Structure 1
Amino acid sequence: MPVHPNIVFLDFETTSKGDLDISALQALGALKTYPVSEGDEIIERSEGVEIIICNKTRITKEVLSALPRLKYIVVAATGYNNIDLDAAKARGVKVSNVRGYSTTSVVQHVYAMLLAYLNQSQTYFNETNKGKWSNNPYFAYWNSPIEELAGKAIGILGFGTIGQAVARVALTFGMKVIATHRHPERDQAQDVRFVEWETLCRESDVLTLHAPLNSSTMHIINSQSLSMMNSSAILINTARGGLIDEQALADALERNQIQAALLDVLSEEPPHIDHPLIGLPNCMITPHQAWASRQARQRLVDGIVVNIKKYLGGRHVNVVC
């Protein structure tokens, strides 16, 4: 393999807005970066390259068939459902992802949303700016309920690296932690009770999703699971939008079947402006940014560098195909 291969990063601006150190990546070969690549641009910009780096750009069977020199794909993310793995395997193209880089950032965002909602932070920020506190006869002003985390039960779907980190923070807040786990005997956790999915829905005051999206988890939040949740329950999703049947959730929120949904991901991104969840008063949506702290994005670039260095040395790490 070439010592300095041709490398293309097809959607670089999904990772960096010019605020990251990519010198180590540039040193690995002849690197070309593009802000985003769509349609015919994907093949045109990848012709003659040995290594593709992409975050969400779709690498289909058609794309792979048109790139005979392609040997390696590095997904600039943990999730890799944008790559046709069967087609890659058939053509002998290795695929790696980057793992663990966003854990701290995602966990921070989970609690940022939850605390902002329970503390009514946006409401009080707006009302202070409107003069409500200044015109209040008392030293303190509040007219919306503020809730504590202590004593509440947080249910965690997916007890991997992020789920476990969410649990550790929850325990410091004095929350009760319950979780689902495919192999509970493998990851025994003090003060965490492992339960079945139905029990998780019924007992969680806060239900947070940290599972991968696959055939068994697609729309795991649906009308049936929502009907099992408490009317005071809060749903959080920072994983994948497809975990939720969004119309079913919108219907449940409009009926106050659950208290609120705090979402960082949707099934279609960016969403259409008339998406059924956008604008609901009990649905807080952030634009898929939970993973995107500067430190997390730098760790992502560093992880890409590690993967490519290992590949150039004749090894493959973080292989998904």
Structure 2
Amino acid sequence: FGAIGKKVAEFCRVFELNVLAYARNAAVQSDDFVKMTDFDTLISTSDIVSVHTPLNQQTKQLINKAVFQKMKHTSLFINTARGGIVNERDLIDALKNRDIAGACLDVFECEPLPTDSELRNLSNVILTPHTAGMPDGLKFHKKRYDFFVNNIRRVENGEEPASKLNQIV
């Protein structure tokens, strides 16, 4: 239960939600608002399961068919962490079979999400392009827009683009 999970829990406090959290570190304790619990209890009793963990060997494919089968059929799954934490095929099957009610996804196993991904055609899914965590979306998008416009002008003037990632042209 790290910094991002704690921030999400703060948002939940406004809505007076009951918040359960899981941490592999047993030293993490419950407080007045967040109740620490084991992974299976969290998965099987939550109405909303929101993932906020780094991708590593312990978390790769952590959310899979077995996890979706333990979730309530009415639960909503949210992933704004890393795509590799979720077995996407198992998620698609769970959504199609209505094993879970829906999903909100900002990250995917393959980014950008392929145009032929089944996730794009499911009515019980909301997709965002890895930008849901931006604290000020409008400011972020304005900054990104200005960056691209500036680079286009630089290239038009025969200059190198700023922050060129691909050094081979």
Asked if these proteins are the same fold (TM beyond 0.5), I'd say yes
Distance change (3 Å), C-alpha of 1:173 and 1:214: same
2:71 is matched with 229
1:279 is matched with 121
Matched, 1:268 2:110: yes
One-letter code of the match for 2:16? G
2:15 aligned to 173, 177, 195, which one?
Answer: 173
For structure 2, list consecutive stretches of 5 or more residues without a partner in the other structure.
144-169
TM-score scaled to structure 2, two decimals?
A: 0.77
Give the alignment's Cα RMSD to 1 decimal.
2.0
1:219 is matched with 61
Q: For residues 114 and 10 of structure 2, what CA distance do their matches in structure 1 show?
A: 36
Structure 1 residues 1-321: aligned runs within 5 Å:
159-186=1-28, 188-292=30-134, 293=136, 294=139
1:132 is matched with none
1:276 deviation in Å? 2.3
1:186 deviation in Å? 4.3
1:181 deviation in Å? 1.4
Distance change (3 Å), C-alpha of 1:197 and 1:186: closer
Residues 91-133 of structure 1 deviation map (CA, whole Å, 9 limit, x = unaligned): xxxxxxxxxxxxxxxxxxxxxxxxxxxxxxxxxxxxxxxxxxx
TM-score scaled to structure 1, two decimals?
A: 0.41
SS at match of 1:202: helix
For structure 1, list consecutive stretches of 5 or more residues without a partner in the other structure.
1-158, 299-321
Residues 128-177 of structure 1 deviation map (CA, whole Å, 9 limit, x = unaligned): xxxxxxxxxxxxxxxxxxxxxxxxxxxxxxx2111001111112201000
Aligned length: 140
Q: For residues 172 and 222 of structure 1, what CA distance do their matches in structure 2 show?
A: 31
Tell me if structure 2 keeps the 8 A contact 1:234–1:260: yes
| Identical amino acids, percent of aligned pairs | 36
1:188 deviation in Å? 4.5
One-letter code of the match for 1:223? K
Tell me if structure 2 keeps the 8 A contact 1:233–1:258: yes
1:9 is matched with none
One-letter code of the match for 2:74? S
Distance change (3 Å), C-alpha of 1:247 and 1:186: closer
Which one scores higher on RCO, CA 8 angstroms, separation ≥ 6?
1
Structure possessing the higher radius of gyration over alpha carbons? 1
Q: More deviation in 260-269 or 289-298?
A: 289-298
Tell me if structure 2 keeps the 8 A contact 1:237–1:265: yes
Tell me if structure 2 keeps the 8 A contact 1:179–1:195: yes
Q: For residues 247 and 295 of structure 1, what CA distance do their matches in structure 2 show?
A: 31
1:279 deviation in Å? 1.3
